Amino acid sequence: MSELNLILLGPPGSGKGTQGEALQEDLRLPYYATGDILRAAVKDGTQIGKQAKEYMDRGELVPDEVTIGVIGERVEGPDASDGFILDGFPRTVPQAEALEDEMNKLGRKMTAAILIEVPQDEIIRRLGGRRTCEQEGHVFHVEFDPPNQEGVCDVDGSPLIVRDDDKPEVIEKRLEQYRTKTAPLVDYYEDRGILQKVNGDEAPDDVADHIRGLLATLRREEEMEM
Ligand code: AMP
């Protein structure tokens, strides 16, 4: 396939991060997760981190101009010239429009927006049980992926914490933000003919297989058109 420019779409807790990392390994493409980029900026105390922190702590979306700048500079960089995987961006219609403008400017197109669908009660179970390593952000789950020793990261031994935005009242806020601001992107990408849906209510490996399957289909369709 000429180039693969992918968006992972779905509510918080739908597994975008897990699938993004699997795809990154499979496809050897850069993976840009705005949540991870913003958390690193907060930790490093950069200007962007300072602008983002209060919104993130409340479970609200960071203003568009901050996230658009963050992603814009990566998409147009040399690492992304064969394609890229976006996780957590776009999350609003203005962000999607900005991405489209940026791609037009570069003479490129998005390949697919992959919507990972998961029922709401499953999302709450996933987010509520998530534990994150304080040092590097390695992710575990009390029920589905417990660490060897409770409260301790298997990878680097640092304490596992509940991310501020995984606390129950903030989870509710994040889901509300998804419903009101991000869900309209489903129609947005449907209208552009690039929406692909996968069932995210399955084991991570099975979801990854579905995504591989749909990318293989897209590749075949492209070859037939050429
Ligand atoms: P995530 O790790 O993707 O769940 O993102 C964590 C938080 O980062 C979100 O709740 C938002 O506050 C912020 N964030 C991440 N991506 C975006 C985005 N594209 N637009 C606005 N805020 C974002």
Number of the ligand 1 atom closest to the C-alpha atom of 165 = 10
Q: Are residues 53 and 103 in the same domain?
A: yes
Q: What is the pLDDT of residues 7-51, one digit of tens each?
A: 999 999 999 999 999 999 999 999 999 999 999 999 999 999 999
Measuring from atom 2 of ligand 1, which residue has the nearest CA?
35
Judge whether 111 lies within some domain.
yes
The per-residue pLDDT of the chain, averaged, comes to: 94
Q: Are residues 59 and 93 in the same domain?
A: yes
Res 1: pLDDT: 58
Q: Are residues 17 and 56 in the same domain?
A: yes
Q: Are residues 128 and 19 in the same domain?
A: no
Average the pLDDT over 56-61 and give the result: 93
Q: What is the pLDDT of residues 139-160, one digit of tens each?
A: 999 998 999 999 999 999 999 9
Number of domains comprising the chain: 2
Residue 64 sits in a domain of what CATH number?
Answer: 3.40.50.300
Measured CA to CA in angstroms, residue 25 lies from 18, 30, 92, 128, 212 at distances of 11, 9, 27, 28, 12
Shortest CA distance to 114 belongs to which of 83, 74, 87, 82?
A: 87
Query: 164 pLDDT band (50/70/90 cuts)?
Result: confident
Judge whether 102 lies within some domain.
yes
**Mutational test site, ligand 1, from 14, 19, 37, 38, max ligand atoms within 8 Å of CB:** 38
Q: Are residues 48 and 77 in the same domain?
A: yes
Res 226: pLDDT: 72
User: Which residues constitute the domain of residue 158?
Assistant: 120-162
- Residues enclosing ligand 1, CB less than 6 A? 12, 34-35, 38, 55-56, 59-62, 67, 88-89, 91, 95, 165, 174
Helices (H), 8-112: 16-27, 34-44, 47-58, 64-75, 93-106
Judge whether 44 lies within some domain.
yes
Measuring from atom 19 of ligand 1, which residue has the nearest CA?
89
Average the pLDDT over 104-122 and give the result: 95
Q: Model's pTM, two decimal places?
A: 0.91
Query: CA-to-CA distance for 62 and 49, rounded, in angstroms?
Result: 10
Q: Are residues 88 and 182 in the same domain?
A: yes
Q: Are residues 14 and 50 in the same domain?
A: yes
Judge whether 167 lies within some domain.
no
